[in-house]
Structure 1
Amino acid sequence: MSDPDNKKVSISVKTNQADKEQAAAIFDSLGLNLSTAINIFIKKSIVEGGLPFDVKDPFYSEANQAELDCRFKKIANNKGIHSHRPLDDEIADHAN
């Protein structure tokens, strides 16, 4: 008897042509095809109980957060603050 858990099913994934070609080339260099690579991703996600890698927004990187903290401190101390005029005022000045 065949085990119903081992029955293979198809899934469909949409991506753009360039990404598919780049991924296929990477996986090919590793001796894998797209299907095998996707199955590895799925199995690893199951083992990890989520994505097998961190998904991060670069906005929250340590370097960016340090820069923002520095800027906020300058603002709090009234340093490095430049006054700005509304764009409408500048346009009116240039028209005269």
Structure 2
Amino acid sequence: MNLEERIMKIILFSGNAKSHAFEAIQAAKEQNLGLARECMEKSNQELINAHQVQTSLIQSEARGDKAEITLLLIHAQDHLMNAITFKDLANEFVDLYETLKS
């Protein structure tokens, strides 16, 4: 897989993670906490996938195969960082809705 394909995978997985986290908030808001937790698990898995691709890029660079820093690579990193932050906040929202329900 070439560099651009790996970068696009990070963007794809990160976008999926953020979407699942948003779905979790919506489900919790509708008092469907089981679905909310399921969506959060999907979000976590997508972030694991993105992180694995990111790690492979880091390992390649550590072996001396340096990736060219492009706007697309920066964009992918931005997507990943935002998805992680959004997932963390979504988890707090789900927890809050769960607390309010009990």
Greater share of residues in helix: 2
Q: Which has the larger radius of gyration?
A: 1
Greater RCO (CA < 8 Å, at least 6 residues apart): 2
Give the TM-score normalised by the residue count of structure 2: 0.24
